[in-house]
Amino acid sequence: MSSDRARSAFEVRGYRAGDEHAILAAYNRVFARVDPGFLPRTERAWRWAFVENPSGSRISLAVASDGRVVAQYAGLGQRVVVDGRRTQFSQSVDSFVDPDFASGLARATAFVRAGERYAATFGAPAGPDEVMWGLPVPAAWRIGKEKLGYEVLRTLTFLAAPRERLAGDPSAVRELASVPDGVERLTQRIAARRGMLVLRDRAHLVWRYERHPVHRYRFGAVVRGGELVGLAIARAAELADARGEVLADWLVPDDEPEAARALLAWLAGSTASAANAGSTANAGSTTNAGSAANGERGPSELVAFFADTAPEWLAFQRLGFRVRPSRYVQVGRSYVRALALADVRRRFWWTLGDTDLV
């Protein structure tokens, strides 16, 4: 084998125990070169995403002969409810190819072959996933469209409102330090109306928000007659096109408008000091949001992402939010005929917490 061919040789395979060290070395090297503000990912953060996820994870690698990971196609499993039926989707994340690996053609081939193995292994009928979706960077989108069957679902827009526009009475909201009881029943109410959404049971919400290795989230709950009727989860964040108090999850049935208004008033009126206190309190402790201590105000805007087909899209605008553009493009691929992407686009209800952006 010539030296050029040896340098461009790679093996496509799945994850093996111990691969995380080579994955992290490549991931941190690649993304540090394209993002000046990039913070290296730790092994703890990697394990949270790819080992501890209750819905599982998916990893396909291209590995050079010296053991270096030169390309990765990866995804986070998501247990999904479709018209009462449970199945699985996956959200593609952390996919990359090492720009220092071989020639341009060899690099593209490594990424495509890792992606092809991913689809063959994890896509139905051989694998558990009926749909793959994600928010790829432009380079990944171009390759995915040409070689991996990506199709555009939508270009994302988002909703934003200044805090003062949402002023109201938050006294019905309890600010929590953990996921409240009753969330499964609340999710069932919402699933009955939405038809297609990621399962938000306790295991998922605790993993996604309470155990996140980097971020701290605020939980606001409305309980009436002993039943949880509304839950909002948020944190201060700066995204590519949006900066403010970002809504990560929103579990409020359509027939609970008072709970919705109270939760938005809570988000609008909460202070930065109250948010910091809530993120470090003991699990299970609560504070009354209507009597939070005075302190420095947090971000001046509230930001929410919903599909433009979701009921919240118009409902939030009626409450004072305005539509703004973003650079994010949502793409997908269906592995089963029963779920056409047009149906996924129209019916899949998601929040920003279903992505890795917040």
Answer yes or no: is 243 within a domain.
Answer: yes
> Do residues 164 and 142 share a domain?
no
Mean pLDDT within 148-166: 94
Does the structure show a pLDDT above 60 at 84? Answer: yes
pTM, rounded to two decimals: 0.88
pLDDT, average across residues 150-162 = 96
139 and 161 both lie in a single domain: no
| Rounded alpha-carbon distances, angstroms, from residue 171 to 203, 233, 263, 352 | 28, 17, 9, 26
Say yes or no: 179 and 63 in one domain: no
What does the pLDDT read at residue 141? 86
Q: 358 in a domain, yes or no?
A: no
| Residue-level pLDDT at 9 | 87
Report yes or no on 59 lying in a domain.
Answer: yes
The verdict on residue 125 lying in a domain is yes
Mean pLDDT in residue range 95-100: 90
Distance (Å, rounded) from C-alpha 196 to C-alpha 29? Answer: 37
Q: What is the mean pLDDT of residues 237-261?
A: 94
Kindly tell me the burial class for residue 1, based on how many C-beta atoms sit within 10 Å of its own C-beta (0-12, 13-18, 19 or more). Answer: exposed
Q: Distance between CA atoms of 173 and 270, rounded to whole angstroms?
A: 11
Residue-wise pLDDT for 2-26, tens only, equals: 545 545 689 999 999 999 999 999 9
Summarize the confidence of residues 246-258 as an average pLDDT.
Answer: 97
142, 201: one domain:
no
Label residue 308 by pLDDT band (50, 70, 90). Answer: very high
In this predicted model, what pLDDT tens digit does every residue of 32-44 receive, in sequence order? Answer: 988 888 899 999 9
Q: What is the pLDDT of residue 34?
A: 83
Q: Are 136 and 192 found together in one domain?
A: no
Do 174 and 119 lie in a common domain?
A: no
**DSSP H/E element including 342:** helix 341-347
d(CA 223, CA 173): 8
Chain centre distance of CA 56:
14
Task: Look at residue 343 and give its three-state secondary structure.
Answer: helix
User: For the CA atoms of the chain, what is the radius of gyration?
Assistant: 21
The enclosing domain of 295 has a CATH number of: 3.40.630.30
Which of 189, 135, 143 is CA-nearest to residue 305?
135
Rounded Cα gap, residues 34 and 38, in angstroms:
8
Claim to verify: residue 174 and residue 301 sit in the same structural domain: yes
Q: Percentage of residues in the chain with pLDDT exceeding 90?
A: 77
Q: Rounded to the nearest 5 degrees, what angle is found at the Cα of 90, between the Cα atoms of 199 and 233?
A: 45
Whole-angstrom Cα distance, residue 112 to residue 60?
Answer: 11
> How high is the mean pLDDT of the chain?
89
Domain span at 317: 157-327
Same domain for 169 and 99 = no
Q: Which tens digit of pLDDT belongs to each residue from 27-73?
A: 999 999 888 888 999 999 999 999 999 999 999 999 999 999 999 99
Q: What average pLDDT does the segment 263-292 reach?
A: 51
Using N-to-C axis directions, what is the helix angle for 138-147 and 104-122, rounded to 10°? 70
Where does the pLDDT of residue 144 fall: very low under 50, low under 70, confident under 90, or very high at 90 and above?
A: confident
Please identify which residue in the block is written with the tokens 């072959």. 113
**Do residues 352 and 157 touch, judged by C-beta distance below 8 A?**
no
What pLDDT sits at residue 36?
Answer: 82
Task: Please count the structural domains in the chain.
Answer: 2
- In order of 62, 124, 166, the CA distances from 274 in angstroms are 46, 46, 18
Q: How confident is the model at residue 310 (pLDDT cuts 50, 70, 90)?
A: very high
14 located within any domain:
yes
Rounded to a whole number, what is the distance in angstroms from the first to the last CA of the chain? 46
pLDDT tier, 104 (very low <50, low <70, confident <90, very high otherwise): low
Query: Quick one: what percent of the chain has pLDDT higher than 70?
Result: 89
What's the distance, CA 45 to chain centroid?
15
Structural domain includes residue 164 = yes
Q: Are residues 173 and 101 in the same domain?
A: no
Do residues 162 and 91 both lie within one domain?
no
**277 domain residue, yes or no:** yes
205 and 144 both lie in a single domain: no
Same domain, 48 and 96: yes
Domain assignment present for residue 355? The answer is no
Domain end among 98, 128, 149: 149
